Chain A
Amino acid sequence: MLLIGPPRSGKTTLVLSGLERALRADRSDQVQLLVPTASMKHHLLSVLARRGLMVPSRLISTMSELVRDTTPDVTQADGAVADRLLRDAIERSASNELGMRSGSPGLRNRIAAAMSEFWAAGADSFQLEAAIRTRQQRGFLEVFLAYEESLRRAGFVHHNQRIALAAARIRQEGLGRVRKVYVDGFDRFTKQQEELLEALAEQAEEILVAMPAGLPRYPLRASAVESLPPREPAGLVVKTMQAASPRAEILEIARRILASKRPLRDHGIILRSPEQYGHLIREVFETLRIPHRSWDARRLADHGVARHFVRWLRVIDRQFPAAQAIEAIGSPLTPAGAEPEVDAYDFEVRKRLPNSGLDFLRRAAARYGGPKHFLEGLRPAQDLHRKRCGAKRWAMECLGLLPRVQALRLPAVGTSFRRTSEWRAAIQAQRALRKAIEDTAKLPEFQVRRQLSLGDFADALEDVLRYTSLNEPGQPDGVVHVLPVLESRQWSLPVAFVCGLAEGWFPRRFSEDALFDDEDRRQMKRRGIELRTTADRVREERYLFRVSATRATEQLVLSYPAHDGTGKPVMRSHLLDSAPDARQAPWATLGDRETAEAPVASPALPPELLTVVKECNEGFSASGIANFRQCPYLYFGGNTLGLRGRPQLPEHRLDGAALGSIVHTALLRWNREKRSIGAILDESFGAALKDLHLPQSFRTEQLRRALRADLVRFAHEQGASMGVSERGRAYFENDREYRIEELASRPIVRCRIDRYDIDDVQRCYVTDYKYARPGRVRELLQQHLKGEQLQLLIYLAALEQQLHCEPSGMALCGLRGETSCAGVSVGDAGGRETLTEDEMSRLLNIARTETAEAVGEILDGSIAVRPRDPGYCGRLCEFGSVCRVNWPTSAVPDKPREDSAS
């Protein structure tokens, strides 16, 4: 008998009553209920048990269980097996254009879906051949035939074949003690399923199939039909709400759930578009600590445990490339990953990237016991990349490798429920991973003797992982249920939220099929092959909306966002037109319990820390003083706190400072050795690359050539004069110490002077070589003359103090792009701008005073965020995120200080 009624008309209630009667009469072995999903089975078992009955589990089974139990000797091609057979079939059909694209997952999905549709419609390849119209369809047919042939040869059947087989067996063998069969929860049957129902109807004394009203097709055509009238639940409240974004929508739902006085399990969220909302709900609910259960299976491949192991396989297969290896080693899933020293080891390795090899990693781990011990244990895996063997052998290798590279740490008793659940999920994932490794070895393509590499096996394992589901562990009670709409069909919840009611999400927007368009499908329908057209799918969306909107018994909340997650506007679903109570929802205002504060920035450190400041600053450098004068906080971060970031990646290591250093080294050597500057530069550059652990690449090559060109031009143009007209004897790169008289014995300002010249009357001139362009060089000189920059003036003052010579000139020599020189000297200009003695004296005073002031301020604990050049903050300062100068409240820097001399 067919029992037909709209959603909520009481079909399931009727079926359950029948089962209950049988249980109470101790006839449970004579009835059986078939449902589409395992979750529905458990749900209905619970419903019956809660009526005070002891319910044998066999009373309800899924159709898949029935088929499996009826055909235990049959092997079905699913998941990765089916996909790899299909890939093989596409490759083998080389004559058609699809053959070139067997690696395209989208194409395989499309073909697999089309084959399923044809099977489900009961169409065979002969019927299909008659309907072929385009060359793509012909290509598809070739693949279809090749795939069926592959199945046959490998001894597999597809899902629909197995159902048909089960139907035949039921006809042959009967149903045992079962007299009455109920079928509930289905809204569509494939041809084979209809056949199975026919077989059940033949063998059972009675069959009752409950289905929704209004479907285009029903099974058991010869059966009697009983229709149930619709029943609206009394007192159902329907609300519609709009939110700014999907996140605001979920936050609002969370707020309503938390604010309601009902148990959590009374609430359900029904989703048509899990891809839009699944992660979001999980994130928001976990953040707000709302227990929930998603009834949507996840892929094992997406779990960190699986990803971690596959990453290790790749690392081993690629011979331990250090960049990837260090990420794998640092993972908390790796046995050494939780050791505190692994962080230090991580930096050690990153400094030397790019590099590779287990030997390199082991050498780098010399000072780190945990990583060292762990890497020693990996030595047997060092040569696995060379190994070729069968899949079973690889599976054993992998199972042996797994405990070596992956360890789960037990949660302590008393750990929160949430964290324990995550751990349970991880342990479940690891079990599933083991099973997946074993399943990989059983793939049909590996059943023939074949020598595989580790990479081949890892590829296959990744495929298997992609097709392996990972269900959530346990079944916590008192949770909010998150249900895909198809899953929700037999649920009944006091409060249901149907979210994402936006055009394109619910209803989904459908494109015509790429293989068989609507016209083809209509043609096939006329030939008796029931394929769904776009219009059918649109109708289904309306049906699904009816299903989701009838799950609630007391309150139904329909919601939609105004924008998607990227801020693009979305349109309200037209399905909502049937819900007249549309109103704007308030913006979600859910906050968290904790409150935070940002510390208020202080311009100076408290007095009790000044001794610490002194300890951290036993001496000063000219560049340190320059940093302080750019911004006291810059000095504090870099010098006093000595904060260091993570080692730079190779592509960033050859930065301005490194290039400047190379140029200085080359110039110094050139001056000493009097050889070709090009050759010297090449040597210096090579040495720098070695120090920086950088291999040669097109990047380094370009920079080398640019530096070389600049220095060769410099040497050619300036020769021995080194860009500066000689004045007596020249000295290069000397370390000098400069004592600030005003502060008595401490501190010391260290200077490293590129060059100074002292003439026969003890006048000194300093020169600084900059790898900079002429404009910058001129700008720097002007800044010196205004007293804004002090570097050269400090040098001069240092020379005056140490060598008792008369500071008489300073010059900056720029080497980048073109050779440029900008300088001033007292009296005899020598091609430079002139400066009077008084001006020089004034500048030196500025240098002394400002340096003394800077040192004094440092020691007095000044840490004000006071950038002299605001542009430097955004572009160059690495402590921008620490000083928070770019934050809106402090975006405008203080007025720069006036020159002390003015």
Chain B
Amino acid sequence: MRLTQDQERAVRSWQRGDICVVAGPGAGKTRVLVERIKWLILDRDVPPEHVLAITFTEKAAHEMRSRLVSEGSPSPETRRRLEAASVSTIDAFCNRLLKENALEAGVDPGFEILDENEARELLRTAIEHVLDEAFVLGGDPLRAFLDSYGGSASRFPRADSLTLLEDLSGLVSSIRSYGSEPFLREPEMPRMELASALRALANAKKLDPLADLAGRLEDAPRDDPDAVPALLAEASVATARIHKRGKVKALVSEIKDRLLPSCMAAAASEANRSPRQWLLETVRRILAEMQAAKLAAGRMDFDDVLAKAADLLGSGHAPKLHFEHILIDEFQDTNPLQIRLVERLLDAHGPNRPVRFVVGDINQSIYGFRHADQNVFREYRARVEKNKGEVIRLMENFRSRSEVLGAVHRVLPGGPPSGVETHRLQSASIFPESREPRVEVRIVTHGDANAFDREARWLARRLHELKAGLHLADRRGGAVGARALQWGDVAVLARTRDRVSKLAAVLRQAGVPCEISSGQRLFEAPECIELAAFLRVVRNPRDEISLAAVLKSPLCGIDDADLLRLRRDHANIAEALTSPCPGRSGLGKDAEQRLQRFAKILSECRADRATLPVRFLLARAVSSCGYRSFLSRSDDGPRALANLDRLLDWIGRREEQGAAGMDAVSEALDRASVTGSTATEAPHGAQDLQAVKVLTMHGAKGLEFPVVALASLQSNPSGSPRGLLFSEDHGIGARWREPFDGGPCADSAYRAAAAEGKRREREEADRLLYVAMTRAEEHLVLSASFAGTAQKRHWCKLVFQRLGLNPKEDPNGEPAYRLAGDVRFLYHKTWVDPPGGEAPSAAPESPEPEILLPLPPSAQADYVAAVTAVATFAQCPRRYFLSRYLKLEQAGPAPSLVGLAAAGGSSARDGTDPSHFGEEVHRHLAGQLNDARPSVRRMAASFLQHELGKRAASASRMEREMAFVFTVGDHLLRGTIDLLFEEGGERILLDYKTDRVPRHGVQRAAQRYAPQIQLYAAGLAKSGRPADRAVLFYLRHAKPIDIDIGADSLASARNLVGSFFEAQERQEYPLKTGKHCLRCPHYRAECPAQFQ
């Protein structure tokens, strides 16, 4: 599609200085940004590394990067050039800046970013620590503060611990997002002004006591802390019955609405001087504590990254930057800290200030709760206009039908005091003719709290109707045709997160397949709840509530009756897992099997929980229980599976970040569930899933849908303003207790911040509605439900007033067409339940899981087996298993084993054990140990002085301690020949033995080692020069024993190798009991052999 004239102008603007693009919803701003980057690099030859594009979400950055390199199929060279441009979120940009200039910025070069939840946890820990410390160290100032502090603005403020923690947490976050330092500002009290207004009122109303009060107020001594508050209280009482009407209306308003509250707030500030100071100090300590904790861990949160980057750019050590063009998307969503960063980024270029190309729309500024300040964009736009810079307005809307835009303009015409600016959006796309109204308003009224349920059910019914009858534009093939609506075309948006999940639940029940696209928290998803319970059970199965939840879940799958049966037979149902009593429990065969299978899985998990990462344990348990398979067959299978995987990833990340171990992970998961961690449900990737998207209005920003239903318009975000607020101008403000009646009283800073916050909130609510409505392409449903006064809430009021509806109108329950200005819409107001009986449409088919058999434990073997291991196996397979396979008999201290100490097995494993001695002898004979002990030297001499030793000394060729690798059949073996020498035309293979064997038993003992020597001989045969003779040399008796290395013997040894590998495949190591057991180090320890 070609660019419009305005878009073209925005893309190709080539002036130095600032360019501001005001782009309404659906105006193609991403396209403009992408095209501009391409134009700068490809047409204007700006070096790509001199272009920086900043977005505020990862999604937007990815979208821009993808479109940059994919649209128009660029050649590899073009793609490389475009990719070299820096397109990233502001956080990622700062991250990179700091990493590259870590030392100048004074940060750890290997710093890692704390996610939002971790940062919140850290802050909370810091607050608790500081407050606990304040309590322990005397605690009087803390007590004084608690006496004075009034808490949140709810009707009955309470400075209880949780409220204070939340209040402090909010305050600190707010201070940090402003990038400011905490401070207190002493207020001006307009006492004289109030006195003079009271006097004027007294004169006008002829009220002498009031005049007297005014006089006393003027004369009140400054050094008496109680005098002024008392007089203000008196003034409040005295003016309470004077109404704002008649000639004195303005004066009374001035006194009641401005002067008196200002004076009282200033008095509150004054009266609480000490607690305020303590509060300031405490906030400073909390900030310092947090910083110290982060520094110690080498980590930073997002605010730190921004602040440090801004500081770096503003310092004398700023790196040399060479951006020529900086493009910023969604500028209306910037907060003060981000603005400071952007300004410093521009300033850091010195005289070669880059061109700033900013895209934004005040009407879409909805992130005030993250301290985004839409005034920044407004001021920037004004400045650009004033400086004769370029301001380009893109008001053509390529998204919505004109009927939808008409409704937007009707409900939100803009202008003060609304938060929406007046922009007339022009529909620029062609849609097929429609005789049916494309906007509808649906209201459900009912006198009980179930109005919302009814609304949701009505909405479901309406969506079924629309699916049956509504046709949408189909632009395939170049022409605009019509197509039937699919579930995937519909989005239902709600203002608050809790409404999203409730809506989705009702819609699903009514047969509308839906997918929660935002708003649902990961940890609230059923599968996460079940697995969190499972981890708690792994920690301690006596946690019966968690255990019951797990037993009833598909992880086990028994029912309530079975639970009761278990309870009947056991004091704690956990005991049923460890000591089942099938005779009594009365569990059915199936339940018994399930329980036993689960008990086995649980027992394995418990045994492994200290040594295996939790993510492995959980993934394995999930698989063993068939849980994954169950989820894939459920209605919401893809999403449930995606949630499961995201949970495993979340656990994995926590483990990598140091929360290692079952306890730490389980606790982190529980905390995340309780504190409402912001991890959201996973997208499952099946983009073609035909389901209605249910999401929050904030989550819908940047998206568009053919049909949009805005549900539950009456709902307001809950919560009262916190007891502590911060503003850049007034510093920290708090609500205190009135000294006289203990009632709440805000200080000046709080009053100013709260008033500002309230105004912003109201304005932002308008913009949120604007954003939500403009998500619709073709059909818009506005829906509300209320009982009582909810109809007076802001959005309901707007819809009623602007569309000319009367809330008191007695509805007849039937839909009717209405006209408001040029907006034609369908109006349906009802109080009854929707008629039942609508046929639920088929749920989307979840892909049938392909069941693949896990591999049998075959083909498992030691890749390169040691010849000595094979020999040990020949002697006794069980001894091989214990000694070699489990490696319980290696040199050096043995591991701590249960039961081993009692058997006295460890005493022989110190440095003086026989194997260690033998090793020394071998090394000495190999010439690797020159300063050997006398006993070692004596032992070696027995060979060196023997005839064989003398022959070896005169050998023509000799190899000592020769390690080698060879194959027997398909199996690899390794071994080390002690001595191989050629003398007198004979090739002799020799192995030393230091065993304590009686002289008469040497011959028999040697047979135990025969397979080892024969395998060595078999290996040598592969070298083309086989050994002529093989000898075992018993050093203690200086006695050589010849070993048969004839063809039959070698074949037998090769067969042994086959048996060895077969045993490994089967994991079968039978006991071979005999006298050798008495010499076995595992006898009466790890080995169960009984030998008499």
User: A136 and B103: CB pair below 8 A?
Assistant: yes
Q: Is the CB of B623 within 8 A of A288?
A: yes
Question: Which listed segment binds B: A216-224, A474-482, A740-748?
Answer: A474-482
Instruction: Specify which chain B residues have a CB less than 8 angstroms from the CB of A24 in the assembled complex.
Output: 1024
Are A283 and B546 touching (Cβ within 8 A)? no
Q: How far is the CB of A259 from chain B (nearest CB, A)?
A: 7
B146 A304 Cβ-Cβ under 8 A: no
Please give the number of chain B residues whose Cβ is less than 8 angstroms from any Cβ of chain A in the complex. Answer: 182
Report yes or no: B548 in contact with A637, Cβ–Cβ below 8 A. yes
A172 interfacial by beta-carbon distance below 8 Å: no
Interface string of B133-173 (1 = CB under 8 A from A): 01100010011001100000001111111001000000000
Which one, B158, B630, B682, B964, contacts A706 given CB within 8 A? B158
B58–A106 CB distance below 8 A: no
Against B, the Cβ 8 Å flags (1 = close, 0 = not) of A329-354 are 01111010110100110110000000
B628 at the A/B interface (Cβ < 8 Å)? yes
Interface-side segment among B15-23, B843-851, B929-937: B843-851
User: Cβ of B701 < 8 Å from any Cβ of A?
Assistant: no
* A1-54 contacts to B (CB < 8 Å): 23-24, 26, 42, 45-46, 48-50, 52-54
A566 at the interface (CB under 8 A from B): yes
If A569-B58, A593-B854, A882-B552 touch, does A49 touch B966 (CB 8 Å cutoff)?
A: yes
Task: Kindly report which residue of chain A lies nearest to residue B854, judged by CB atoms.
Answer: A289
User: In the complex, what distance in Å separates the CA atom of A343 from the CA atom of B573?
Assistant: 13
Identify which of residues 242-281 in chain B touch chain A, using a CB-to-CB cut-off of 8 Å: none
Are B545 and A644 in contact, CB atoms less than 8 angstroms apart? yes
* Per-residue interface assignment for chain A, residues 274 to 301, with 1 indicating a CB less than 8 Å from any chain B CB and 0 otherwise: 0100011011101111110000000000
Query: Taking the complex as formed, is B304 at the interface, i.e. its CB lies under 8 A from any CB of chain A?
Result: no
B561 within 8 Å of A (CB atoms): yes
B residues 56-81 near A (Cβ < 8 Å) are 58-59, 62, 65-66, 69, 76, 79-80
- B755 at interface, CB cutoff 8 A: no
Residues of A within 8 A of B100 (CB): 511-514, 517
Smallest CB gap from B598: residue in A: A596
**Among A154-162, A423-431, A451-459, A492-500, the stretch in contact with B:** A423-431
Binds A, one of B187-195, B861-869, B1052-1060: B861-869
Q: B957-974: which residues lie under 8 A (CB-CB) from chain A?
A: 959, 962-967, 972, 974
A612 surroundings in chain B (CB, below 8 A): 564-565, 567-568
Per-residue contact bits, chain B 505-543, to A (CB 8 Å; 1 contact, 0 not): 110110000000000000010100110010010011111
A566 to B1023, CA, bound (A): 56
Residues of B within 8 A of A699 (CB): 161
Query: How far, in Å, is B446 (CB) from chain A's closest CB?
Result: 13
In the complex, what residue of chain A is closest to B562 when comparing beta carbons?
A599
Q: Does B653 contact A (CB under 8 A)?
A: yes
- A818 nearest CB neighbor, chain B only: B156
Collect the chain B residues with CB atoms within 8 Å of residue A126's CB: none
Partner of A477, one of B562, B626, B859, B895: B859
Answer whether residue A109 sits at the interface, using C-beta atoms and an 8 A cutoff: yes
Contact B616 A283 (CB under 8 A): yes
The A843-886 residues at the B interface (CB cut-off 8 A) are: 863, 878-879, 881-882, 884, 886
User: Are B298's CB and A104's CB within 8 A?
Assistant: yes
Taking CB atoms, residues of chain B closer than 8 Å to A594 are 623-626, 629
B1068 close to A (CB within 8 Å): yes
A399, closest chain B residue (CB): B893
Q: Which of B624, B888, B906 contacts A427 (CB 8 A)?
A: B888
| Residues of A contacting B554 in the complex (Cβ-Cβ under 8 angstroms) | 596-598
* Residue contact B159 to A702, C-beta cutoff 8 Å: yes
Q: Which of A49, A286, A817, A886 contacts B619 (CB 8 A)?
A: A286
A741 to B972, CA, bound (A): 86
User: A57-B974, A596-B554, A609-B561 are contacts. A477–B610 as well, Cβ < 8 Å?
Assistant: no
A residues within 8 A CB of B607? 332, 338, 409
Given A641-B564, A816-B156, verify A884-B854 contact (CB < 8 Å).
no
Task: Check A49–B965 contact: CB distance below 8 A.
Answer: yes
Of the listed stretches B210-218, B391-399, B644-652, chain A binds B644-652
Separation of A642 and B547 alpha carbons in the complex (Å) = 13
CA distance A565 to B110 in the complex (A): 21
The answer to whether B65 and A571 have CB atoms under 8 Å apart is: yes
What separation, in Å, do the CA atoms of A567 and B647 have in the docked complex? 12
Question: What's the nearest-Cβ distance from chain A to residue B123, in Å?
Answer: 16
Question: Looking at the complex, which one of A286, A302, A562, A609 makes contact with B685 (CB distance below 8 Å)?
Answer: A562
Question: Taking the nearest CB of chain B, how far is it from the CB of A595, in angstroms?
Answer: 5
With known contacts A598-B553, A608-B586, A330–B896 Cβ distance under 8 A: no
Q: Any chain B CB within 8 A of the CB of A592? A: yes
- Tell which of B363-371, B778-786, B879-887, B942-950 binds the partner: B879-887
Beta-carbon nearest neighbor of B557 in chain A: A597
The answer on a CB contact under 8 Å between A609 and B1024 is: no
Question: In the complex, how many angstroms separate the beta carbon of B910 from the nearest chain A beta carbon?
Answer: 11
Q: How far is the CB of B689 from chain A (nearest CB, A)?
A: 11
CB of A703 within 8 Å of the partner chain: yes
Say yes or no for B318: interface residue by CB 8 A criterion. Answer: no
B160/A702 in contact, CB under 8 A = yes
Q: Which of A581-617 contact B (CB under 8 A)?
A: 587, 589-602, 605-606, 608-609, 612-613, 615-616
* Cβ contact within 8 Å between A56 and B892: no
- Nearest CB of chain B from residue A785's CB, rounded to whole Å: 16
List B873-917 residues whose CB lies under 8 Å from chain A.
878, 881, 885-888, 890, 892-893, 895-898, 901, 906
Instruction: Judge whether B604 and A419 touch: CB under 8 Å.
Output: yes
Interface size on A, as a range, is 35 or more
Interface membership of B489, Cβ < 8 A: no
Q: Which residue of A lies closest to B604 (CB)?
A: A419
Q: Roughly how many angstroms separate A641 CA and B623 CA in the complex, as a whole number?
A: 29
A362 at the interface (CB under 8 A from B): no
Is A427 a contact of B895 with CB atoms below 8 Å?
yes
> Within 8 Å CB of A891, what residues of B?
501-502, 505-506, 508-509
**Distance of A884 Cα from B553 Cα, bound (Å):** 8
CB–CB A53/B966 < 8 A: yes
State whether the Cβ of B219 lies closer than 8 Å to any Cβ in chain A: no
Provide the residues of chain B in CB contact with A264, threshold 8 Å: 855, 859
Inter-chain contact A403/B552, CB cutoff 8 Å: no
A434 on interface, CB distance cutoff 8 Å = yes
Query: Would you call A413 an interface residue if the criterion is a C-beta within 8 Å of the partner chain's C-beta atoms?
Result: yes
Q: Mark A694-719, 1 if CB is under 8 A from B, else 0.
A: 00111101110110010001000000
Q: With an 8 A cutoff between CB atoms, is B578 at the interface?
A: yes
A282 touches B616 (CB 8 A): yes
**Contact indicator B898/A434 (Cβ below 8 Å):** no
CB-contact partner of A577 in B76, B143, B964, under 8 A: B76
The yes or no answer to A388 lying at the interface (CB within 8 A) is no
Q: Among B198-206, B478-486, B656-664, B723-731, which stretch is in contact with chain A?
A: B656-664
Q: How far is the CA of A596 from the CA of B557 in the complex (A)?
A: 7
Chain B positions within 8 Å of A248 at CB level: 685
Judge whether A563 is part of the interface by a CB distance below 8 angstroms: yes
Contact residue among B544, B609, B857, B878 (Cβ-Cβ distance under 8 Å from A645): B544
The contact of B860 among A136, A476, A774, by CB within 8 Å, is A476
Q: Name the CB-closest residue of B to A647.
A: B543
Closest to B895 in A: A430
CA A422 to CA B613, docked complex, whole Å: 12
Question: Across the interface, do B108 and A105 meet the contact criterion of CB distance under 8 Å?
Answer: yes
Q: Tell me the A400-457 residues at the B interface (CB within 8 Å).
A: 402-403, 406-411, 413-420, 422-431, 434-435
CB contacts under 8 Å to A, within B106-124, are 106, 108-111
**Complex contact A50–B967 (CB within 8 A):** yes
A307 within 8 A of B: yes
5 contacts between A and B (CB under 8 A): A58-B963, A410-B898, A594-B629, A637-B545, A884-B526
Given contacts A49-B972, A247-B648, 20 further A-B contacts (CB under 8 A): A46-B972, A52-B967, A104-B295, A245-B642, A259-B852, A264-B855, A287-B620, A305-B611, A343-B541, A514-B102, A568-B59, A574-B76, A592-B851, A594-B623, A599-B558, A599-B560, A601-B560, A643-B573, A701-B142, A882-B545
5 pairs of A and B residues whose beta carbons are closest in the complex: A106-B110, A244-B685, A591-B849, A817-B156, A594-B626
